[in-house]
């Protein structure tokens, strides 16, 4: 390495030059010629360039399905396991970058939003010349898949025998990528930018490479209208090492980048002469044993070690250099990191080698080089999406902002702009309509349903309503800026609108985020619905016993009258239910389906008739719907604006301890619930756990199937228990069972054996019934065995009683 001691800051610019900079004009000219060759010759040009530049004779550019299928067998199991772990870490870090859709109400009734839309066709360049960098395919392919890019094309240089590294093909298979092209260098970039017979032209090109690849990407962006991730050329690292640094660690880090290629550059900054000398000695020792020693030594010849006066000087030099990789080999790494303004990726402390970022920590290793870290970020999930803005105005919004737009448009002399607003305002003045949340005019479906006091009230505006996101200094909400008491930091208020959860849940459920309300369990939604519609001491709700008891509790709490419409003996709505409800002045009817405690679905036709004829809100409580083989009523929200569907994370999702319930309804009705809810009703911890659960939603069907299998097993076993009189049909994760003996006695006997069930014998229509939840296989077996024991004891007692009576 070239060594410089205390150079004058005026000379730093020269020391910060990259070795490839002097060759830039010649490289650019050669790359332009390659682009012209590929544009004119297509596949034939790529085949010729593969022979000329890679020494590979190819008959086909595309990797065949047979080659892809054969790849895994050539990759050692240990390496496959390592790749899978790295993939999981990269997925975890990049998936967390997918924030919720941005939604802001800039003024009342003026709604602006921004949505991430995936780039439709992306090209990934994976270096594979002197060293096949399969890790780059992980770094690019994982976020491309997470972003939802429909088409992914991979280009990677062929080996001399015309093959592609089997590890690269294994990773492609792992990511579900089937379009792999045997092309490297600037010719691959040209093919992705221009398209050939075998290579689709793409919208954006990603990936690092040598100076020819970098020049190709810049040419594609400048003259062919193809976006690129960033200029990412020869690899580089800068290490800031003070007296606390371990020279062996520092030397290893420098060599880890030097071995990439002869045009790589490594830089050491230190304020310790002893460390500088020790690192040089370590470099000499370690490079001698490297398989790529010749490459590393060429890179070291173009690299520099600089002795500076202090930490401040090192940080200043580093920010001017803007390294791809920056290692802070110091005991004060966190404090020093606060001053970093230009770097692709930063590695903190003595135990964080740059190599972990290259492979498996989870951050992306495709980073800006050659000083471009001053302007560019590294690849992230955002790199693979476009952000499209949307705006929607309600009647009040257009009326509020209209004059502003008219005034500004007229001032610029653009009368047609002003007229586009004016004609709408005139139309609204002529034909007043109810402002639904989707902006469409419609007859008000909630006329007379919403309490007048709620209509008039102004909702509480929290600090997080007035400012979204985070800033370097947050002093607006009277939070404890020092942090939290306890191991986790919950010192900041959570998102009051739970945007991230609603976005992911909406995608899973097939609804809009604005059709979702999240509550502290379903109970909060039940209580808010009662308070939203019912004036205390005057209004009523309808319940259909036997059913969930919280409906009546919420009514009683709010001084609201309860009307009861009893279910039939088979726990269905009576035939005249719709007619009876149509005559009721109640504000709301609660219909639990699958019903609790009976477990059965209510007949769809009966619910639909009620939805068409009842004048109040129809609340369908689907806490157990995940266990039923029937479509959710959320699929009918567009048909029935007064329909509210309740669901929960407590049952099928197994998150009862989180207390997270969901209400689905028309956006206008959800807006009312948001108006009256407490500002921060869902905690940060609950939101974090819910997002993790939603990310693992593919596990849900397997758990559901296991519980349904347990339910069927219990049903079969109960049929052979003598004291069981009837097992009611169930569409839930429990069975309602009627016993031929005293159910309360059975309940007590089970409790004495350490088994707790629910005694429902006092509920209407449930005489002699216990509600039995499906447990684990072991718990189910214990329950059945206990019932058999109780049955045997009951039979014995009855026999003794009969014998005693006979003797008497």
Give the single-character DSSP code of 4: E
Euclidean distance between the first and final Cα of the chain, in Å?
Answer: 111
- Residue with the two structure tokens 């049929």: 719
Q: Give Cα separations from 404 to 390, 407, 517, 558 (angstroms).
A: 19, 5, 33, 44
Q: Which residues contact 341 (CB under 8 A, 6 or more apart)?
A: 319
- Residue with the two structure tokens 């870490």: 89
Out of 324, 354, 406, 514, pick the active-site residue. Answer: 324
SS3 category, 399: helix
Q: Tell me, yes or no, if 514 is annotated catalytic.
A: no
Of 718, 706, 702, give the one whose Cα is nearest residue 775. 706
Q: Which long-range contacts (CB under 8 A, 24 or more apart) does 398-407 make?
A: 398/109, 398/424, 398/425, 398/428, 399/109, 399/425, 399/428, 400/107, 400/108, 400/109, 400/110, 401/107, 401/109, 401/110
Reading the block at residue 210, the tokens are 């040598």
Of 274, 570, 149, give the one whose Cα is nearest residue 141. 149
Out of 111, 260, 325, 497, pick the active-site residue. Answer: 325
Determine the Cα–Cα distance for residues 689 and 488; give it in Å rounded to an integer.
14
Buried/exposed code over 669-705 (b: 16+ C-beta within 10 A; e: otherwise): bbebbbbbbebbbbbbebbbbbbebbeeeeebeeebe
Of 591, 477, 459, give the one whose Cα is nearest residue 532. 459
Determine the Cα–Cα distance for residues 89 and 800; give it in Å rounded to an integer.
67
Determine the Cα–Cα distance for residues 384 and 170; give it in Å rounded to an integer.
22
Q: Tell me, yes or no, if 325 is annotated catalytic.
A: yes
- Phi and psi angles of residue 777, each rounded to the nearest 5 degrees, phi first: -55, -40
Pairing status of strand 110-118 against strand 121-125: unpaired
- For residues 6 and 253, the answer to whether their CB atoms sit within 8 Å is no
Reading the block at residue 191, the tokens are 């093919």
Q: Torsion angle of alpha carbons 177, 178, 179, 183, nearest 10°?
A: 90
Q: What is the 3-state secondary structure (H, E, C) of 59-103?
A: CCCECCHHHHHHHHHHCCHHHHHHHHHHHHHHHHHHHCCCCCCEE
Determine the Cα–Cα distance for residues 532 and 673; give it in Å rounded to an integer.
7
Q: What is the largest CA-CA distance in the chain?
A: 118
Of 313, 299, 225, 224, give the one whose Cα is nearest residue 267. 299
Of 123, 358, 118, 323, give the one whose Cα is nearest residue 217. 123
Determine the Cα–Cα distance for residues 682 and 654; give it in Å rounded to an integer.
18
Query: Which segments within 711-802 are labelled E, that is strand?
Result: 724-727, 734-739, 758-759, 769-773
DSSP string, 20-68: TGGGHHHHHHHHHHHHHHHHHHTHHHHHHHHHHHH----S-SBPPHHHH
Q: Mind telling me the catalytic residues?
A: 324-325
């Amino acid at each position: 390495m070239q060594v410089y001691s205390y150079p004058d800051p005026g000379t730093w610019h020269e020391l910060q030059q990259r070795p490839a900079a002097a060759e830039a004009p010649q490289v650019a000219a050669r790359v332009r010629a390659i682009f012209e060759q590929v544009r004119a010759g297509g596949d034939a040009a790529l085949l010729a360039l593969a022979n000329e530049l890679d020494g590979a004779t190819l008959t086909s550019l595309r990797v065949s399905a047979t080659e892809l299928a054969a790849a895994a067998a050539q990759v050692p199991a240990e390496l496959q396991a390592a790749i899978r772990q790295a993939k999981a870490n990269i997925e975890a870090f990049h998936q967390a970058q997918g924030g919720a859709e941005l939604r802001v109400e800039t003024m009342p009734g003026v709604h602006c939003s921004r949505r991430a839309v995936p780039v439709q066709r992306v090209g990934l360049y994976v270096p594979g010349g002197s060293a096949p960098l399969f890790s780059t395919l992980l770094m690019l392919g994982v976020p491309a898949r997470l972003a939802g890019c429909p088409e992914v094309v991979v280009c990677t240089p062929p080996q001399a025998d015309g093959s592609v590294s089997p590890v690269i093909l294994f990773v492609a298979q792992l990511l579900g990528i089937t379009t792999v092209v045997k092309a490297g260098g600037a010719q691959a970039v040209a093919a992705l930018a221009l398209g050939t017979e075998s290579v689709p032209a793409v919208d954006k090109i990603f990936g690092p490479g040598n100076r020819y690849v970098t020049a190709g990407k810049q040419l594609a962006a400048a003259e062919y209208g193809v976006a690129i991730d960033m200029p990412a050329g020869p690899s580089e690292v800068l290490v800031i090492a003070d007296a606390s640094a371990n020279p062996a660690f520092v030397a290893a880090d420098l060599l880890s980048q030097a071995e990439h290629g002869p045009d790589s550059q490594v830089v050491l900054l230190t304020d310790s002469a002893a460390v500088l000398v020790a690192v040089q000695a370590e470099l000499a020792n370690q490079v001698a044993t490297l398989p790529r020693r010749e490459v590393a030594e060429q890179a070291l010849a173009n690299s520099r070690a600089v002795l500076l006066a202090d930490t401040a000087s090192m940080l200043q030099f580093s920010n001017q250099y803007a390294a791809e990789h920056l290692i802070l080999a110091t005991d004060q790494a966190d404090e020093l990191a606060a001053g970093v303004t230009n770097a692709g990726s930063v590695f903190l402390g003595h135990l964080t080698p740059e190599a972990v970022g290259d492979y498996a920590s989870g951050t992306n290793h495709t980073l800006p080089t050659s000083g471009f870290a001053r302007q560019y970020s590294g690849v992230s999930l955002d790199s693979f999406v476009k952000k499209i803005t949307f705006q929607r105005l309600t009647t009040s919004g257009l009326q509020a902002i209209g004059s502003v737009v008219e005034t500004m448009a007229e001032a610029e002399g653009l009368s047609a702009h002003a007229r586009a607003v004016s004609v709408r305002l005139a139309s609204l003045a002529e034909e007043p309509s109810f402002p639904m949340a989707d902006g469409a005019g419609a007859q008000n479906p909630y006329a007379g349903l919403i309490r007048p006091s709620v209509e008039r009230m102004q909702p509480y505006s929290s600090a997080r309503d007035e400012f979204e996101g985070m800033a370097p200094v947050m002093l607006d909400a009277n939070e404890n800026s020092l942090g939290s008491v306890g191991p986790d930091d919950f010192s900041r208020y959570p998102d009051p609108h739970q945007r991230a959860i609603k976005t992911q849940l909406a995608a899973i459920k097939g609804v809009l985020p604005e059709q979702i309300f999240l509550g502290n369990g379903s109970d909060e939604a039940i209580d808010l619905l009662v308070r939203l519609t019912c004036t205390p001491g005057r209004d009523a709700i309808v319940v259909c016993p036997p059913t969930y008891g919280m409906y009546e509790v919420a009514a009683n709490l709010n001084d609201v009258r309860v009307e009861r419409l009893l279910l039939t003996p088979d726990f269905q709505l009576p035939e005249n239910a719709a007619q009876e409800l149509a005559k009721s002045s109640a504000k709301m009817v609660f219909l639990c389906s699958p019903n609790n405690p009976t477990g059965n679905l209510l007949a769809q036709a009966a619910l639909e008739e009620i939805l068409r004829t009842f004048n109040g809100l129809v609340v369908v409580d689907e806490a157990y719907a995940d266990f039923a083989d029937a479509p959710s009523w959320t699929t009918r929200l567009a048909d029935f604006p007064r329909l509210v569907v309740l669901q929960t994370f407590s049952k099928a999702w197994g998150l009862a301890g989180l207390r997270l319930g969901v209400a689905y309804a028309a956006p206008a009705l959800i807006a009312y619930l948001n108006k009256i809810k407490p500002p921060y009703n869902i905690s940060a911890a609950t939101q974090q756990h819910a997002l993790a659960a939603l990310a693992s939603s593919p596990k849900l069907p397997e758990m559901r199937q296991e519980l349904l299998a347990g339910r069927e097993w219990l049903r079969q076993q109960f049929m052979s228990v003598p004291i069981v009189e009837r097992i009611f049909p169930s569409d839930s994760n429990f069975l309602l069972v009627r016993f031929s003996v005293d159910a309360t006695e059975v309940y007590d006997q089970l409790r004495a054996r350490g088994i707790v069930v629910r005694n429902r014998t006092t509920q209407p229509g449930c005489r002699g019934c216990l509600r039995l939840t499906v447990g684990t296989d072991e718990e189910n077996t214990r329950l059945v065995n206990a019932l058999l024991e109780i049955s045997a004891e009951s039979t014995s007692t009855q026999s003794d009683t009969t014998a005693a009576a006979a003797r008497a």
